[in-house]
């Protein structure tokens, strides 16, 4: 196994961790859904919203041009 520093030294410029990220996202969704169920579907205050997500998406797209 190697880390990102070792991969960079070997000339790798892109590392795709799609499957581990999906596992993490699934776990987070399951935990939040259980938390909501346990709390009568109440929502918590968070900095994550449609506006923030859209800004992040547009920022990421701008770097691809």
Enter the tokens of residue 46: 């968070």
pTM of the model: 0.54
User: Which residue pairs, CB below 8 angstroms and at least 24 apart, start in 61-65?
Assistant: none
Per-residue model confidence as pLDDT tens for the chain (65 residues): 889 999 999 999 988 888 988 999 999 999 989 999 999 988 888 888 899 999 999 999 998 86
What's the pLDDT score for residue 1?
81
């Amino acid at each position: 196994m190697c880390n990102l520093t070792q991969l960079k030294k070997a000339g790798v410029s892109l590392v795709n961790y799609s499957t581990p990220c999906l596992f993490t996202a699934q776990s987070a969704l399951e935990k939040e859904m259980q938390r909501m169920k346990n709390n009568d579907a109440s929502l918590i205050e968070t900095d994550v919203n449609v506006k923030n997500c859209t800004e992040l998406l547009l920022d990421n797209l701008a770097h691809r041009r």
